[in-house]
Amino acid sequence: MQIKNIKIHPKKIKVLFKNKKSENFTNIWLRDHIFNEENWDFVTNQRKTFTAVLDPKTFIKKAKTEENGKYLILEWSDQKKLAKYSSKFLYDVSKNNGLKKIFHKTWEKKDMTKNISLKFNRAITKEGFKILLKNICTYGFCLITNCKPNKNSVKKIANKIGYIRQSIFGGLWSFEANNKMSDSAYSKSELRPHTDSTYSNDAPGLQLLLCCEYNAKGGESILVDGFKIAEKIKKKNKKFFKILSSIEVPGNYLGDGVFLQAQRPIFRLDKKDRIIQVSFNNYDRAPFRLDEKKTLEFYNALRKFDLIANDKKSQWRRVLKPGELLIINNWRVLHGRSKFKGSRKMSGCYINKEDFDSMCKLNSLSSY
């Protein structure tokens, strides 16, 4: 967006863009954002300016635009060289204000008619990998089929996205039903929809789950869009939404040599009241107290949330067969599994949310 005109004030400059939007840039902010060799390291993309020693009285001596408003050129009182700012930078930084754009499509069962799967050999190509990322950004999950049914397939896909995260379960893990572990995920009984690691301050962003062996009956994987639940509750019952987005619910992992605990609301919102994370794990919820009125309100809201999550109309279901890998955004989509008889071996890993976000940005995608 090019600049139409500018007006210098003593402590700021008013920039009017060609789409009639205007923005005030204070002198200190502009002085702090000079992109030239003296003030910016173009190799490391880091600021060189020692901001704290900038004279607050630094002022703009002269200002003009160049190339039909493509650039703003400023002459600073403390700089020998003219400073050049691109109108794109000034516009983008004002418009987005550092916040991410939202591109997701919320869904329930009836909406998931689209084939969301990709074959492994395609997923590892440049073009296929971008589709994989796009599916996760849009729907909160992606299915990769035709993988070799072993840990290496998980490792190969995970390493394309980011770093494998170390946790109480290890890095790259394999598991089957095991009643010695202190987590419900190791049982054969029904596992109702939940997000993982409500006991972690930084819950894993992605969970990768590959079916390696399946000699069983049942064991459908269940996914539910937590953002859709939030949308529904916000629309029909603002009071419940307020409770679920304000009361901090603690989660615990006690056992296997650790005592992890964290707390946050079931719907975590940003400063513009947009949802950024859903955290719900009724298994891991730790005892906590509220006053009498709030207690009743909280249980009413929790009931609403969990009944929607357990309603089959909300759920995408599939029995994963050997070689099928699910990648789930654990900050958005709840996962569960119906009960099963027989044996079922799975492999998987976690990836941090910020590493997934980073890969999305490198591919010009927004992970929200």
List interacting residues with Fe ion (CB under 5 A): 185, 196
Closer of 54 and 185 to Fe ion (Cβ) = 185
C-alpha span between 77 and 55 (Å, rounded): 10
Write down the least CB distance from residue 195 to Fe ion, Å.
8
Q: Which is nearer to Fe ion, 125 or 170 (CB)?
A: 170
Q: Least distance to Fe ion from the beta carbon of 213, Å?
A: 19
Nearest distance from residue 365's CB to Fe ion, in Å? Answer: 25
DSSP 82-95: PEEEEHHHHHHHHH
To the nearest whole angstrom, how small is the minimum distance from the Cβ of residue 232 to Fe ion?
23
**∠ CA 116-120-123, rounded to 5°:** 70
Q: Rounded distance, CA 283 to CA 285, Å?
A: 6
What 3-state class would DSSP assign to 169? coil
Contact 321, 213 (CB under 8 A): no
Residue placing its CB nearer to Fe ion in the complex, 168 or 185: 185
The minimum distance between CB 239 and Fe ion, in angstroms, equals 29
Query: Quick one: 31 or 192, whose CB is closer to Fe ion?
Result: 192
**DSSP letter assigned to residue 170:** B
User: Would you call 57 helix, strand, or coil by DSSP?
Assistant: coil
**Pick 147 or 346: Cβ nearer Fe ion:** 346
**Minimum CB distance to Fe ion smaller for 60 or for 136:** 136
**What residues contact residue 214 under an 8 Å CB cut-off, 6+ apart?**
319, 320, 321, 322, 343, 344, 345
The residue at minimum Cβ distance from Fe ion is 196
Minimal distance, residue 305 CB to Fe ion, in Å: 17
**69 versus 205: smaller Cβ distance to Fe ion:** 205
The answer to whether the CB of 111 falls within 8 A of the CB of 294 is no
**262-272: string of b/e by CB count within 10 Å (b at 16+)?**
bbbbbbeeeee
How far are the Cα atoms of 44, 237, 263, 280, 359 from residue 246, in angstroms, in the given order? 39, 14, 11, 14, 30
Residue 183: partners with Cβ closer than 8 Å, 6 or more residues away: 253, 255
| Contact present, 286 and 261 (Cβ < 8 Å) | yes
256: left (phi over 0), alpha (psi -120 to 50) or beta: left
23: which 2 tokens? 């923005």
Q: How far is the CB of 333 from Fe ion (least distance, A)?
A: 11
- Considering the complex, what minimum distance in angstroms separates the CB of residue 194 from Fe ion? 6
What is the DSSP secondary structure assignment for residue 262, as one 8-state letter? E
Q: How far apart are CB 302 and Fe ion at their closest, in Å?
A: 18
| CB closer to Fe ion out of 6 and 326 | 326
Measured from the CB atom, the residue of 222 and 233 that comes closer to Fe ion is 222
DSSP element (H, E) containing 276: strand 275-278
CB atoms inside a 10 Å sphere around CB 240: 21
Q: To the nearest whole angstrom, how small is the minimum distance from the Cβ of residue 196 to Fe ion?
A: 4
When the beta carbons of 174 and 300 are compared against Fe ion, the nearer one is: 174
Spatial CB neighbours of 339, under 8 Å, sequence gap ≥ 6: 188, 189, 190, 218, 219
Residue with the two structure tokens 């029904």: 190
